[in-house]
Chains A and B, each alone.
Chain A
Amino acid sequence: MSQETLEGEKQQVGFIDRLIEGLAAQQASMAESRTVKRFLLNVAVSIHSCVNGTNHVFGGWAGEASYEGLSILTTFELFPGRELNVNFEPAVGHPCHMPVKLTHCDKRVGGIYRSGGNFCYDDAPAGRGE
């Protein structure tokens, strides 16, 4: 590899330390500014989407959840604004369909997409974010 490569173990440890210190500071600052705390969920979910009257069911990976919404990894693009039904069965132990409205979808490398969405409560749900 090139001369720019950090070959020494001390340099590598130093790099990892600096990276982690930077991330910790950045994430502490983000956590303070967020009003809704997010938690790791890490479960497979099935996603139900209705397009032009046809139902599509596909798999996704729910990475994080909060009282407001969740993030999902998929192998294809999802479109912001669309409403999906997400079945949380693996997380709660029984079929549980939640409507989720997508807010964004970012392409990761290697054909993986990360989307985020808000739970669609009709109005004034109890216990939300308290």
Chain B
Amino acid sequence: MLRDRLSGANTMTQAPQETANVQAEVIKRLVDGLAAKHAKLSEQRTITRLALNVPVIIYEKITDRERAREVWASDISRKGIGLLTNHELRADRHILIDFEPAIGQRCCIRVHLRRCEELVEGIFRSGGTFLTSE
């Protein structure tokens, strides 16, 4: 019944006008599911990931340090880092990440870029491992 009430329209004009209780119930179920998933993942993970949310500079070619781009570092662990960019980064290669915009002093760390996926049009998420931890 809940499903029936929520299904149907795809556009704003046709969007179903759920009651406040039904809307709250959908969100409650969604967030409860996320909380359960989060708890399970936290148990399984031996490496804790933390939100970082700072700008960093990446050098896509370690041998060509003049070609710098500022990107967004979204999360970090002792093993690696997650980046958000508006362009695709080629995976499976080494890049250099400078934390200067975040900490105020130059600090470069080499990273093995493992993957890059397009989240939505124009937003890419990449993940890499610190070469110091390999």
Contacts and interface: CB of A to CB of B under 8 A. Distances in A.
A112 B76 contact: no
Contacts, number: 168
Interface residues on B, range: 35 or more
Contact of A16 (B21, B24, B72, B132): B132
B130 A109 contact: no
B24 A121 contact: yes
B34 A65 contact: yes
Contact of B21 (A41, A126, A130): A126
Q: Is the interface of A mostly helix, strand, loop or mixed?
A: mixed
Interface residues of A, number: 61
A111 B87 CA distance: 10
B23 A20 contact: no
Interface of A: 1-2, 4-6, 9, 12-13, 15-17, 19-20, 23-24, 27, 37, 39-41, 44, 48-50, 55, 57, 59-61, 65-67, 73-75, 85, 87-88, 91-92, 94-99, 108-112, 119, 121-128, 130
Interface of B: 3, 6-13, 15-16, 18-21, 23-31, 34-35, 37-38, 48, 50-52, 55, 65, 69-72, 76-78, 84-87, 99, 103, 105-109, 119-123, 130, 132-133
